[in-house]
Chains A and B, each alone.
Chain A
Amino acid sequence: MTMVNEWDISELAGNPRRRARERLIGRIAFGAALVSILVSVLIVLSLVFEAVVFMIDVDWGNTWGQLGWFPRRDLFDLPTIIVATLWVTVIAMAVAGPLGLAAAVYLSEYANPRVRRILKPILEVLAGIPSVVLGYFALRFIAPNIVGNLFDGAAPANILAAGIGVGLLTIPLVASISEDALNAVPRALREASAGLGARKMATTIRVVLPAALSGLTAAFIVAVSRAIGETMVVFIAGGAADSALRSFNPLDPGMTMTAAMASVASGTDNVAGQGPTFQSLFFVGLLLFVITLFLNLVADRFVRRFRQEY
């Protein structure tokens, strides 16, 4: 009775059709993942060509010390749109930084689960409000009722109101990344602090916040990047339709880099599709892309650091 099992090793490999299907699905999934790289390549491609044409063709004397940003008269005063962008960013962060961080601290350190379930959706709903709506709100409510009441001589539509609008839009972003950072701080640190007799407030300020510092920094940088890239609020509420006078006062109307892009695109130059007016769109877009990419890479560094620490 020497029944030898005559197994061939190939039989263990299973049904060849099943294996072929496995391979095919693996390849499809890989292809889908590569699409994200394709998107990045195409973004860079579509920015660079026309931006280079702009940089060659433009009279660089017209990009500095001019009356303002008048792309249809070949005046591309860069300080006009860069300073407006900086103002919007600073104002937005002055709003979103403290409010977002405080909300995150409350949710992570103070709120019990039941309260958290009620309060957290407020931020989530706010995060879901489209930016055109915030733009309308900044123009209709913030500019007359808040900025107009606090400051004399503010224009009916101004950069300050737009900046506050952008800030409101970024609160949920700051809050959610900060909350993640605070949650990553080990419980043991809080308990050790409490064990030494520190009160909740001292523990929060002296132990938890410093321990979460790299994550909080990341939240701040991501929010800055988002504020720089926000378009619609400034386009609607900034008060500059298709050109902007040079002014460094946030109570005046102004045009950020993003609003400058939107206004070129919404004009007839988009149809014509040539000339420096149209190409300024790509130059400003490239500038914006480089700035936000840099900020995002830096933020990523910080996020990685807090992931590693704990």
Chain B
Amino acid sequence: MAAPSISTGGTASTTAEQTLQGLRRRADVKGRLFQYSLLGSLLVSLLVLVILISQVVIDGWPVLSTRLGDFLTTGLGSQPEISGIAQGLRGTFYLCLIVALVAFPLGIAAAIYLEEYAPKNHLTNFIDVNIRNLAGVPSVVYGILGLVIFVRGIEIGPVTVGIRSITGGSTPLAAGLTLSALVLPVVIITTAEALRSVPQALKEGGYGVGATKWEVIKDHMLPYAAPGILTGTLLSIARAAGEAAPLILVGTVTGFITQVPAWWDGTQVRETYTAMPIIITRWAGRPEEGFKVDGAAAAIVILIVFVVLLNSVAILLRNRFEKRREG
């Protein structure tokens, strides 16, 4: 039986047919168009990515294909054909290391406090609002913080606020601390989210057998939240590696560095330095094609490989994590 049995014949049947026709779903052309235009907008982002990546690979190809090894291991020079990015790689590595050593412990501890220890009062609320606002402060403003507090110091009456005596001025240490301040709110927010996702039953199980608060956090919550925390920290490292604006303000230099110090020479955290994003910025502004196009693009390819690698690991981790939750 195809249609409801209203058909009796004659004129009545035609009206019934018409009614049924009206009820039958017409092809939803507008809806389809709407859906495809939404999908199209999303694919614009993919197109941008594809064009962007092919552009930098094509621009950087003369360098990447002929002298990749030299490019990675030699230092900056005045001639584009023989210039490399060794100091930049080294500087960025040190900056990421300092961020990992400073921002991660601080951020994770702060998140633990906010999620587990903090009483519900005005101070806690203030800290919470403050962190969310810090996350929205432009990175260039963090550069000012670094310039004043970590690089120069500021005299307020008889007191000098700042740690120039420790950082030694425009050094990787000062820049690393600046970037640590920059990613701190992100680390706190993502860690707090990961901790919040720990099931209540898991915590109560710990308390039930007599564990203290710290023991529950250490043995029950952190292992469960670890992938989520790791995702957040990896994304922060990627962000720190790609940031240029705060580094410009804290005096990361290019062009004046000639020697390539050994990678393991730790005293270099208090010397002049440069970093990948700064090299790219400066080269992109040079008049010589060899710097402006080939060199800058090759350096971008190296930076993107590093950043995208970190991002992909973070995304994969999170996806596996979510699946485990669902399963």
Contact = CB atoms under 8 A, between A and B. Distances in A.
Interface of A: 14, 18-19, 21-22, 25-26, 28-37, 39-40, 42-43, 45-47, 49-50, 98-99, 102-103, 105-107, 110, 117, 119, 121-126, 128-137, 139-141, 168, 171-172, 199-201, 204, 222, 225-226, 228-232, 235-236, 241, 258, 261-262, 265-266, 270-271, 273, 281-282, 285, 288-289, 292-293, 295-297, 299-300
B308 interface: yes
Given A136-B297, A168-B48, A124 B315 contact: yes
B143 interface: yes
Interface in B282-323: 284-285, 293, 296-297, 300, 303-304, 307-308, 310-312, 315, 319
B206 interface: no
Contacts of B106: 32, 35
B248 A265 contact: yes
Most B Cβ at <10 Å: residue of A47, A102, A281: A102
Contacts of B109: 28-29, 31-33
B281 interface: yes
A58 to B, nearest CB: 18
B10 interface: no
Given A229-B140, A265-B248, A36 B131 contact: yes
Most A Cβ at <10 Å: residue of B37, B38, B118: B38
A201 B188 CA distance: 39
B130 A37 contact: yes
Contacts of B139: 229, 231
A46 B149 contact: yes
Contact of B140 (A18, A32, A35, A231): A231
Contacts, number: 272
Nearest to B254: A266
13 contacts: A29-B109, A29-B117, A32-B105, A40-B130, A43-B144, A45-B161, A50-B148, A129-B307, A140-B59, A199-B28, A200-B35, A261-B249, A266-B248
Q: Label chain B's interface by main secondary structure.
A: helix
Q: Give the top 10 A-B pairs by smallest Cβ distance, nearest first.
A: A229-B138, A130-B242, A46-B148, A102-B41, A32-B109, A29-B113, A231-B245, A296-B136, A106-B38, A128-B311
Contacts of B249: 261-262, 265, 270, 281
Q: Label chain A's interface by main secondary structure.
A: helix
A123 B45 contact: yes
A132 B281 contact: yes
A43 B41 contact: no
A33 B110 contact: yes
B63 interface: no
B177 to A, nearest CB: 10
Contacts of B28: 199, 201
Nearest to B250: A265
Interface string B173-190: 000000001001100100
A26 B34 CA distance: 54
A141 B55 contact: yes
B46 interface: yes
B227 interface: no
A38 B244 CA distance: 23
A140 B293 contact: yes
Contacts of B126: 37
